[in-house]
Chains A and B, each alone.
Chain A
């Protein structure tokens, strides 16, 4: 385990709990009920299958610091494949930001692609979105199959970023 934890944008589905006092969260097949502490905005009680876990979280410039059970981690968003990818992603994998169905595959193995080039189109919540190359590189493998259900974390396209696009793992703090 490393201090930094990268999560994929949109990998958590959230909705208001029925009583309005908390949130229901879904991560893959994991379901959590989150109740914020009205007296401490950094404290949340997350309940899974009747078991409560207290976490503390605070936003920072470079991510969200989260505490659970004596362990602190800096959680950051990974923006691979999203349309608004600001170009800072170092990922060699493209994964959907939300669950959906693959509707088109727009690249093939061995193809060299420019940054921002369309790779895979998926349909989710009746909206089509196109996953783009986060940076210039070569497509190493295409895992997406038209018609298949996909979710965040599923690797749809693997590609090798161009040289010197090395992992620029930043310091966790100044």
Chain B
């Protein structure tokens, strides 16, 4: 096992990776940009290296700077986390070239699976079903128009290099297609530098179900069952759970085997996720492979009892998996709610600013992976994820009830969060029934408004703060601390409030 690991990321995921590395006796190195000088992930590491300006391109996306940081501090391995460079094959290649270990698959496999069209081709070759569509490179719009008639409407125009809904268009009929092709290609060209688009049948009511896999360098591969991530806003997950109510043991086994077949067929090594769409008739279709640790990996950890980061580091160091498929025996039900700084009343627009106060909920079966503390500034430069709240309980109703109570006590003040929104989603009848699908929030919660609360309690709290003086809150509440250097009251005593 290597002795020193650089984490090329920030926020909650950097801290989460550092926790396991420390448990394994591996020294940790954080990197930080200008905006992150005071961020909790910097303090969570054994050492920290400054990597440049706040803009991601100058720091967290700067391959050469990161490699130099690793070399300079004697790190032997780099963990990319999720986002940033985690799925960038050029980064994985450069890390390997420098004789460092990249915690993830090889750059070749990442490149093959990163392109949606070639990933689908690999899936088909491995016998994994794909969504009916037209995925031929070099297709001109004439060929696409002709193919569309065979696929049928509605269909999706998707960017081959795409992700996060960019370069994607829903087309209801033939007349809309030419415009949609041009728009999607233009958007993809701008966003990814590659305007290649393809066509796929649109599944009206589908669940997002993904299979977590592990594969080592000794040819062993297994899956850790599914996560359902159908609750999405703007094509991005916000609530995830395992198991999915839509899978019976037979379907679970078939999806798991399909994922393992794809992993073995593509030569994939390390932890990864194979994403599928599952339609109402129980048919599943390959969507894509995420060649990294997922944001929502924690729910799998809760039910399986495995530490996925530990598995990743062991695999990266060349060790063989110690478990077999038969050892994977998940227990109970786990849920995750992502706590973003965003405004559910304004289309989930980011809500940057200073976290004036943050406090973690406590109780049986709770886990909070957090990247903030009271006083943390939420920068406009990065993904506004603050923390991930996870619960584990014996069954789904108990997990939902546990999550609702945990959210009520997951205090975040100073920036807006969707906590009240997620409480309402969890308590809604369709969610409780497990009638979840990727358009769930658009269908049921587009017009969401907060419930009216007990106004006198808010008014009383206001009066108490004014009466008792601002002394207790001045350090972080008046916005002065960051500009005027460390204020002892913001540094001392607030450290353990959330994490």
Which residues of A are interface residues toward B (Cβ below 8 A)? 1-3, 5, 7, 11-12, 14, 23, 25, 27, 30, 32, 34, 36, 40-44, 46, 53-61, 63-73, 75, 77, 172-174
Question: Interface majority SS on B: helix, strand, loop or mixed?
Answer: mixed
Taking a contact as CB atoms under 8 Å apart, the answer to whether A1 and B453 are in contact is yes
Bound Cα distance A71, B448 (Å): 14
Taking a contact as CB atoms under 8 Å apart, the answer to whether A75 and B456 are in contact is no
Indicate with 1 or 0, residue by residue over B444-461, a CB within 8 angstroms of chain A CB atoms.
Answer: 000001111111111111
Q: Which of B373-429 contact A (CB under 8 A)?
A: 407-417, 419-420, 423
B351 surroundings in chain A (CB, below 8 A):
173
Which residues of B are interface residues toward A (Cβ below 8 A)? 345, 351-353, 356-357, 359, 407-417, 419-420, 423, 449-468, 470, 472-474, 476-479
Distance in Å from the Cβ of A62 to the closest Cβ of chain B?
10
Taking a contact as CB atoms under 8 Å apart, the answer to whether B412 and A72 are in contact is yes
Taking a contact as CB atoms under 8 Å apart, the answer to whether A55 and B457 are in contact is yes
Taking a contact as CB atoms under 8 Å apart, the answer to whether B449 and A1 are in contact is yes
B423 surroundings in chain A (CB, below 8 A):
70
B459 surroundings in chain A (CB, below 8 A):
5, 7, 11-12, 27, 75
Taking a contact as CB atoms under 8 Å apart, the answer to whether B477 and A173 are in contact is no
Taking a contact as CB atoms under 8 Å apart, the answer to whether A46 and B457 are in contact is yes
Ordered by A's residue number, 15 sampled pairs between the chains whose C-beta atoms are within 8 Å are: A1-B453, A2-B450, A12-B462, A14-B464, A27-B456, A32-B457, A40-B359, A42-B359, A42-B472, A55-B460, A56-B359, A56-B413, A58-B473, A58-B477, A172-B416
Are A64 and B411 also in contact (CB < 8 A) when A46-B460, A72-B416, A72-B420 are? no
Which partner residue on chain A sits nearest B451 by CB separation?
A1
Distance in Å from the Cβ of B381 to the closest Cβ of chain A?
15
Taking a contact as CB atoms under 8 Å apart, the answer to whether A57 and B465 are in contact is yes
Are A71 and B450 also in contact (CB < 8 A) when A12-B459, A32-B456, A55-B457 are? yes
Distance in Å from the Cβ of B407 to the closest Cβ of chain A?
5
Partner of A70, one of B407, B461, B464, B477: B407
Bound Cα distance A36, B464 (Å): 9
- Since A32-B460, A61-B479 are in contact, a sample of 19 more A-B pairs with Cβ atoms closer than 8 Å, ordered by chain A residue number, is A1-B452, A12-B463, A32-B457, A44-B461, A53-B457, A56-B461, A57-B465, A59-B470, A60-B414, A64-B465, A66-B413, A66-B458, A69-B453, A69-B454, A70-B410, A77-B466, A172-B416, A173-B351, A173-B416
Taking a contact as CB atoms under 8 Å apart, the answer to whether B462 and A66 are in contact is yes
Interface centre among A5, A56, A57, A174 (most CB of B within 10 A): A57
Distance in Å from the Cβ of B106 to the closest Cβ of chain A?
44
Partner of B460, one of A1, A34, A67, A172: A34
Taking a contact as CB atoms under 8 Å apart, the answer to whether B413 and A65 are in contact is yes
Question: Interface majority SS on A: helix, strand, loop or mixed?
Answer: strand
Which partner residue on chain A sits nearest B406 by CB separation?
A70
Are A1 and B450 also in contact (CB < 8 A) when A60-B356, A61-B478 are? yes
B420 surroundings in chain A (CB, below 8 A):
70-72
B465 surroundings in chain A (CB, below 8 A):
57-59, 64
Taking a contact as CB atoms under 8 Å apart, the answer to whether B464 and A34 are in contact is yes
Are A73 and B458 also in contact (CB < 8 A) when A59-B473, A65-B414 are? yes
A32 surroundings in chain B (CB, below 8 A):
456-457, 460
Taking a contact as CB atoms under 8 Å apart, the answer to whether B453 and A7 are in contact is no
Taking a contact as CB atoms under 8 Å apart, the answer to whether B415 and A23 are in contact is no
Taking a contact as CB atoms under 8 Å apart, the answer to whether B464 and A67 are in contact is no
Bound Cα distance A7, B419 (Å): 24
Q: What 7 pairs between A and B have smallest CB-CB spacing?
A: A41-B472, A65-B413, A57-B461, A12-B463, A75-B462, A70-B408, A1-B452
Which partner residue on chain B sits nearest A67 by CB separation?
B411
Distance in Å from the Cβ of B361 to the closest Cβ of chain A?
10
Are A55 and B461 also in contact (CB < 8 A) when A5-B455, A69-B408, A174-B353 are? yes
Taking a contact as CB atoms under 8 Å apart, the answer to whether B419 and A70 are in contact is yes
Taking a contact as CB atoms under 8 Å apart, the answer to whether B461 and A3 are in contact is no
A23 surroundings in chain B (CB, below 8 A):
464, 467
Interface centre among B352, B476, B477 (most CB of A within 10 A): B477
Bound Cα distance A61, B481 (Å): 13
B414 surroundings in chain A (CB, below 8 A):
58, 60, 65, 173
Taking a contact as CB atoms under 8 Å apart, the answer to whether A58 and B456 are in contact is no
Distance in Å from the Cβ of B90 to the closest Cβ of chain A?
36
A68 surroundings in chain B (CB, below 8 A):
453-454, 457-458, 461
Which partner residue on chain A sits nearest B459 by CB separation?
A7
A5 surroundings in chain B (CB, below 8 A):
455, 458-459
Which partner residue on chain A sits nearest B417 by CB separation?
A72
A2 surroundings in chain B (CB, below 8 A):
450
Partner of A14, one of B410, B411, B463, B477: B463
Taking a contact as CB atoms under 8 Å apart, the answer to whether B416 and A56 are in contact is no
Distance in Å from the Cβ of A82 to the closest Cβ of chain B?
14
B477 surroundings in chain A (CB, below 8 A):
58-61
Taking a contact as CB atoms under 8 Å apart, the answer to whether B457 and A56 are in contact is no
Partner of B356, one of A11, A40, A58, A73: A58
Are A42 and B412 also in contact (CB < 8 A) when A68-B458, A174-B353 are? no
A57 surroundings in chain B (CB, below 8 A):
413, 461-462, 464-465
